Structure 1
Amino acid sequence: MRLYFKQRLFSWFDSYDIYDDSGAAVYTVEGQLAWGHCLHILDAAGNHVGTVKERVLTFLPKFEMYLGGEYVGSIQKEFTFFTPRFDIDCNGWQVEGSFLEWDYTVTEPCGALVARISKELLQWTDTYVIDVANPMDALCVLMLVLAIDAEKCSRN
């Protein structure tokens, strides 16, 4: 399954649209005014399906993920020198990025590929292509991408 993640141009808060291969909107992400990032994920019908919320006052950036209102895990940036890595307590997944932080892979503990994320260059806003091996994992992978993008945004 392939998803296209695009940040909206001229938005006061973090807001994104997520499309499928046919160009149909699958999810919408709306930021909320809060101390730290708080991103609400809505499905195509406008129903709230998930939240990514930044924990503040932590040494390294940390984000909690909720499906509906239920906590499913967190993602925290690890201290590294060359390639970005994240510690995830969701499904046992691991995330590793490229040196320039444009490409990421999400793998299971056994090494099986969960998703491949790549940033499209020469775009007006942040745009990512997300290839998910199992469509059932798409929402959780989207939450990881939102957390990674929010962490990069906070750093800049």
Structure 2
Amino acid sequence: MKLYIKQRVFSWTDTYDVFDEFENPKYFVKAEFLSLGHNIHVYEKSTGREIGAIHQKVFAFLPAFEIEISGCHIGTIQRKFSLFRSQYEIDYNGWRVEGDFMGWDYDVMSGCSSIIHITKELFHWGDTYTLNFANPEDEVMGLLLVIAIDAANCSGRN
């Protein structure tokens, strides 16, 4: 199963549209315009219902984010200090992440199995990412984690 995340090019805040493998709109991602740190919300496109949120811990030395589903805290991601490449400490469903974060070619792992493979599509207007899921049940949690990693990468560059 696949999801495609497409960033809107002309927007004041981080705004993404998420499509299923048949390119039907599935989710909508919108960051708050005036907030201290990143505050990102994910909504179902069909109902407008919020399914999850990502909040940056503002007073952390390195970028750190809390992830919620339906208002319940389910995990955190924090960038670790590293001189040569992006590394993250993830407390999220027992998952870990391996690969090249900055090059957008990485896997979310559970045990020794890849449950999501993430790649960046080339030659698109705006950033476009492909998420390949081994199990459709991981869709919402995986989407929130990938958006949190994107926010952490963005915060780490600023």
TM-score by length of 2: 0.91
Counterpart contact for 1:15–1:29, Cα < 8 Å: yes
1:43-86 alpha-carbon deviations (Å, 9 max, x no partner): 12211110011111212111110001110011111223444332
What residue number does 1:53 align with? 55
Identity %: 45
1:152 offset after TM fit, Å? 2.1
Number of aligned residues: 155
Stretches of structure 1 lacking an aligned partner (at least 5 in a row)? none
Q: Does 1:15 align with 2:15?
A: yes
2:68 counterpart (58, 66, 69): 66
Counterpart contact for 1:30–1:39, Cα < 8 Å: yes
What residue number does 1:85 align with? 87
Q: Which amino acid aligns with 1:75?
A: I
Provide the C-alpha distance between the structure 2 equivalents of 1:66 and 1:94, rounded to a whole number of angstroms.
18
Q: 2:97 aligns to what SS in structure 1? A: strand
1:107-139 alpha-carbon deviations (Å, 9 max, x no partner): 01x211111100112222121000111111111
1:1-150 aligned within 5 A: 1-32=1-32, 33-44=34-45, 45-98=47-100, 100-108=102-110, 110-150=111-151
TM-score by length of 1: 0.92
Counterpart contact for 2:108–2:116, Cα < 8 Å: yes
Provide the C-alpha distance between the structure 2 equivalents of 1:129 and 1:100, rounded to a whole number of angstroms.
15
Q: 2:137 aligns to what SS in structure 1? A: helix
Q: Which amino acid aligns with 1:101?
A: G
Moved more, 79-88 or 111-120: 79-88
Moved more, 96-105 or 24-33: 96-105
Counterpart contact for 1:106–1:115, Cα < 8 Å: yes
Residues 100 and 47 of structure 1: CA distance in aligned 2, closer, same or farther (over 3 Å):
closer
The CA RMSD measured in Å over matched residues stands at: 1.5
Counterpart contact for 2:102–2:153, Cα < 8 Å: no
1:95 offset after TM fit, Å? 1.0
1:100 offset after TM fit, Å? 4.6
Counterpart contact for 1:86–1:96, Cα < 8 Å: no
1:99 offset after TM fit, Å? 7.0
